[in-house]
Amino acid sequence: MADTETTLVAPDFGTRYVVAEVRGRVLHLRIDRTERRNSFTQDMYRALKRAAVWADSQADLDAVCLTGTDEWFGAGGDMGGRAEDTDGLAVEWDSTEQFPFRHIERCRKLWVAKVNGLCHAGGLDLTLCCDIAVASDRARFRVPELLRGIPDPFMSARLAEAVGLARARYLFFTAAEITAPEAEAMGLVGKVVPHDELDAHVEWVLEQVALTGPQARADVKRDLNARLPAMDYGLFFRAIERPEMREGLDSFLQKRPPEWPR
């Protein structure tokens, strides 16, 4: 990393499942909930949102590096509704305010996704919202939301921009899992490396980022993201009111095929 050290210490972002550490000029975030395949509770999503807000205000930071633990990057949202801070989450009237996706894109620091393993649903949303994505050749990617009756406004706003309309339709409507080389070929991630080289390559990426002008790279990030379509949060809110989404969630939790209302 850059030869200038900082004395920053990462604050508590509100969950034990997001391990945060500042090393050099980089805030490192590691998702660590392997007993649930790194599925995201609302507390975990909120922690990543808080990390984006905090990092944006730190002049000494160049980047945020997001990764997972063991064979999991992130399996998507926790369908069981588990929470560590029920009272705190209830303060927000708008449930989408917990999600970090727009905050990651607004953050002036570059976000680097180090995709170490399985990357489904919300994990893929995070990857798409990061500025650079480097994946292990063991990583696997999937868009399974429609199997639960959930129209994901974050995915629909970003996936086609990354891979093209035809491929986005294929991934949405088949929910097929794809390999890391397939993801790289279609533009879902920027680079795939052998698993044993992932740490070293991401360190090189972060070193290269540190060589660039902070204001210039923030300007370019803002200009690139300004070209992206808006996220339609109404997709999600309209779905919450439908029996279809309730059946999708119930069937998932009960481990049975859904019986979709017609």
**Which of 48-52, 79-83, 98-102, 196-200 comes out lowest in average pLDDT?**
79-83
Which residues lie across from 183 on neighbouring strands? none
Q: Which pLDDT score, from 0 to 100, does residue 1 have? A: 45
Least confident of 67-71, 92-96, 193-197: 92-96
Residue with tokens 């990393």: 1
d(CA 243, CA 241): 7
Q: How many CA atoms lie within 13 A of 154 on its CB side?
A: 23
Q: Which domains can be identified in the chain, with CATH numbers?
A: 18-197+213-253 (3.90.226.10)
- Mean pLDDT across the stretch 63-81? 93
Locate all alpha helices (DSSP H) within 130-254, ordered by sequence: 153-163, 165-174, 180-185, 198-210, 214-226, 234-240, 243-253
Q: What is the pLDDT of residue 2?
A: 44
The amino acid at residue 23 is: R
Identify the bridge partners of residue 65 per DSSP, sorted by sequence position. 28, 112
Is the model's pLDDT at 3 over the cut of 80?
Answer: no
Question: What amino acid occupies position 169?
Answer: R
Residues 6+ apart with CB under 8 A from 51: 10, 13, 18, 20, 27, 29, 64, 100
Least confident of 4-8, 137-141, 142-146, 177-181: 4-8
- Taking the CA atoms of residue 85, residue 48, residue 252 and residue 91 in that order, the dihedral angle to the nearest 10 degrees is 40
Average pLDDT, the chain: 93
Q: Could you tell me if 115 and 135 are in contact, meaning their C-beta atoms sit under 8 angstroms apart?
A: yes
